[in-house]
Amino acid sequence: MAAIDDETNAQVARPSESRRDPEQLRARLDAWLKTKAGDDARVTAVTIPESNGMSSETLLAEASWDGEDRRLVVRVAPQADSDPVFPHYDLDGQFRVIEHVRAHSDIPLPRLWWSEPGDDALGAPFFVMDRIDGEVPPDVMPYTFGSWVADASREDRTRLMRETISVLARVHAVPVPDVFVAQPTGDDTPLRAHVRRLREFYDWASRDRAGSGLIERGFAWIEEHLPETPENVFTWGDARIGNIMYRDFTPVAVLDWEMAAVGPRELDLAWTIFLHRFFQDLAELAGMEGLPDFLRREDVAAEYLKQTGHRPTDLDFYTTYAALIHAVIMFRIQCRAIHFGHAQEPADPDEMILHRATLEAMLAGTYWGQIK
């Protein structure tokens, strides 16, 4: 795996294309807003951030109604011709999930305004929420390469970890909704249903191309080591610090709920742990120290136990499963990069997995023993 040595190379892993004209979007959003907030409503500006995400598109809008200026975020399902990362997008479902979380917890969330399930206004479904000021640990370049997180004191990073685990604890106390999140069917356990959905996503992502032998070995390992899951809770799904906006190392907005599901709470804990290790491994590969003492597996587990009384179990399994989930997503993102001409098709499909060495070591049972 080659080291990431500049922002251009990092962007290859997550291309984001928007060919839409901001002024045209402003006019269309302005016309739509009048149907929701009255004839005096105005959208005065729309911008498309350079760091737009891998899945849905984000627009930043300046608007006003009822005599008040508003700063808004508009999350829009991707256009069909953008070769979306995922096969299906349910923006209205995500809106309802956030409403549900807000109604049953004190988790910091942006204020929601409207969900538009139709395509007429912007060409795709979208929802509108308030924009909140704060800092997000960056993905590009990764926060382990140097950032406000890396520049913070160890005490402040510990506070960030503690507050982040508090978010997870509160998420897991939210009652499971009857709708809006993926539910197991038939004799499936929630975990087995989760694995099945990942398999279906990978089969879709690898259609019409050579698949990854490493990913196939990963699925076989998961099936062989699947643990019992007597307790299942509401899970956030994309539980990582890059989806939290912080102010003074305290969360002020928890974002991106499209992966919410029913399952073991270790799914979220392992995703938090693994995504940090992913960025930490990249930093070390690039010859940087990174943040080896941050979000360590044992520290996350101990803090979660302290806050909830639940001792996380089977973290070898769940962190390996997190690495497999990320491998499937990275495989799909690289397919998209190839589609847009940002990357070349490798001779070995396993090279499309940026953390190939990590997943191989996890499957071999050697990864955690080599962590500093």
Catalytic residues: 238
φ/ψ of 258, rounded to 5, equals -70, -15
The residue with tokens 């500093």 is 372
∠ at Cα 282 (360, 164), nearest 5°?
Answer: 95
Q: Is 215 helix (H, G, I), strand (E, B) or coil?
A: helix
Tokens of 153: 């004191």
Tokens of 258: 């499209």
Indicate the residue type of 131.
R
323, 362 contact by CB (below 8 A): yes
Q: Which residues in 191-209 are b (16+ Cβ under 10 Å) and which e?
A: bbbbbeebeebbeebbeee
Residue spans of alpha helices (H) in the chain: 7-12, 22-37, 91-103, 148-151, 154-172, 190-205, 213-225, 266-285, 297-308, 315-339, 356-364
Residue spans of alpha helices (H) in 173-296: 190-205, 213-225, 266-285
Tokens of 317: 């399994």
Q: Is 251 helix (H, G, I), strand (E, B) or coil?
A: strand
Looking from the CA of 115 toward its CB, the CA atoms found within 13 Å total: 12
115, 95 contact by CB (below 8 A): yes
φ/ψ of 363, rounded to 5, equals -65, -30
